[in-house]
Amino acid sequence: MALHIGHEIQQELRRQERSVTWFARRLACDRTNVYRIFDKESLDTRLLMRISTILVRDFFVLYSQQLNTEL
């Protein structure tokens, strides 16, 4: 199954019990943009790096794990 990075970010935000408003403030964007991120299957690497830093989680490793299972 393909990785849906937006869903992974949303799950991590829930796991940390953080609000969308909290996340939007740190990303310097509107809440509506956060919901758009949740809907995306892929993201720009620069944005994913910012999100990884904010949530203190390496989301890039998910792609590495997926690659390793496909090899």
Which domains, ranges and CATH numbers included, belong to the chain?
5-70 (1.10.260.40)
Q: Hey, is 11 helix, strand or coil?
A: helix
**What is the mean predicted confidence (pLDDT) over 40-64?**
97
**Look-up of token digits 């940390």:** 16
With CA atoms as reference, report the closest residue to 18 among 42, 27, 43, 59: 27
Q: Hey, is 3 helix, strand or coil?
A: coil
Residues 7-41 pLDDT 10s: 999 999 999 999 999 999 999 999 999 999 999 99
Which CA distances in Å does 6 have to 32, 51, 71? 13, 11, 24
Whole-number Å distance between alpha carbons of 45 and 22: 21
